[in-house]
Amino acid sequence: MRAALIDGKSIGAKIRADVAKEAAELTDHGWAPRLVSVSVGDTSAAELYVRNQQRSAQSAGVEFEARAYPADTSLEQLMGILQGLNADPRVNGVIIQRPLPDHIPVKTLQKAIHPLKDVEGMHPASIGNIVYNDLALGPCTAVAAVEILKTLPMQMEGLNVTVIGHSEIVGKPIAFLMMGLGATVTVCHHMTRSVAMHSRASDAVFVAVGKPGLVTGDMLKPGAALIDIGINRVDGKTVGDADFDSCAEVAGWITPVPGGVGPVTVATLMKNAVLATRMQMEHYRESYARAEF
pLDDT score for 190? 93
Is the residue at 12 inside a domain? no
Distance CA 41, CA 286 (A): 39
Residue 123 confidence (pLDDT) above 70: yes
The answer to whether residues 134 and 110 belong to one domain is no
Residue 270 confidence (pLDDT) above 70: yes
pLDDT score for 46? 81
Q: Evaluate whether 218 touches 177 at the Cβ level (below 8 Å).
A: no
The answer to whether residues 109 and 142 belong to one domain is no
| pLDDT tens by residue, 229-240 | 999 999 999 999
pLDDT score for 293? 55
Lowest mean pLDDT among 51-55, 82-86, 125-129: 125-129
Order of strands, edge to edge, in the sheet holding 34-40? 63-69, 34-40, 93-96
Q: Stretch 161-183: mean pLDDT, rounded?
A: 96
Q: Stretch 171-197: mean pLDDT, rounded?
A: 96
pLDDT score for 140? 95
Is the residue at 162 inside a domain? yes
| pLDDT tens by residue, 13-34 | 999 999 999 999 999 999 999 9
| pLDDT tens by residue, 43-74 | 787 888 899 999 999 999 999 999 999 999 99
Is the residue at 85 inside a domain? yes
pLDDT score for 136? 79
Q: What is the pTM of this model?
A: 0.93
The answer to whether residues 134 and 82 belong to one domain is no
CA angle 118, 14, 38 (to 5 degrees): 30
pLDDT score for 162? 98
Question: Where residue 150 falls among pLDDT bands split at 50, 70, 90?
Answer: very high
The answer to whether residues 62 and 154 belong to one domain is no
Residue 242 belongs to domain spanning: 130-262
Last residue of a domain, one of 61, 88, 114: 114
The answer to whether residues 98 and 214 belong to one domain is no
Q: Stretch 201-221: mean pLDDT, rounded?
A: 97
Last residue of a domain, one of 84, 114, 144: 114
Give me the number of domains the chain comprises. Answer: 2
Q: Stretch 249-261: mean pLDDT, rounded?
A: 97
Is the residue at 281 inside a domain? no
pLDDT score for 195? 97
Last residue of a domain, one of 114, 142, 177: 114
Query: Which residues are CB-contacts of 14 (< 8 A; sequence separation ≥ 6)?
Result: none
pLDDT score for 287? 74
Residue 292 confidence (pLDDT) above 80: no
The answer to whether residues 36 and 104 belong to one domain is yes
For CA atoms 13, 19, 24, 27, the dihedral sign is: negative
- Three-state DSSP at 196 gives helix
The answer to whether residues 68 and 146 belong to one domain is no
Q: What is the DSSP string of 14-46?
A: HHHHHHHHHHHHHHHTT---EEEEEEES--GGG
Residue 177 confidence (pLDDT) above 90: yes
The answer to whether residues 92 and 135 belong to one domain is no
pLDDT score for 42? 84
Q: Which amino acid makes up residue 213?
A: G
Residue 1 confidence (pLDDT) above 80: no
CATH code at position 95 = 3.40.50.10860
Distance CA 1, CA 5 (A): 12
Is the residue at 194 inside a domain? yes
**What average pLDDT does the chain have?**
94
Q: Stretch 34-38: mean pLDDT, rounded?
A: 97
Is the residue at 140 inside a domain? yes
The answer to whether residues 105 and 139 belong to one domain is no
CATH code at position 183 = 3.40.50.720
The answer to whether residues 148 and 223 belong to one domain is yes
Is the residue at 258 inside a domain? yes
Q: How far does CA 94 lie from the centroid of its chain? A: 14
The answer to whether residues 135 and 257 belong to one domain is yes
Is the residue at 134 inside a domain? yes
The answer to whether residues 142 and 103 belong to one domain is no
Of 255 and 48, the one with more pLDDT: 255
Residue 178 confidence (pLDDT) above 70: yes
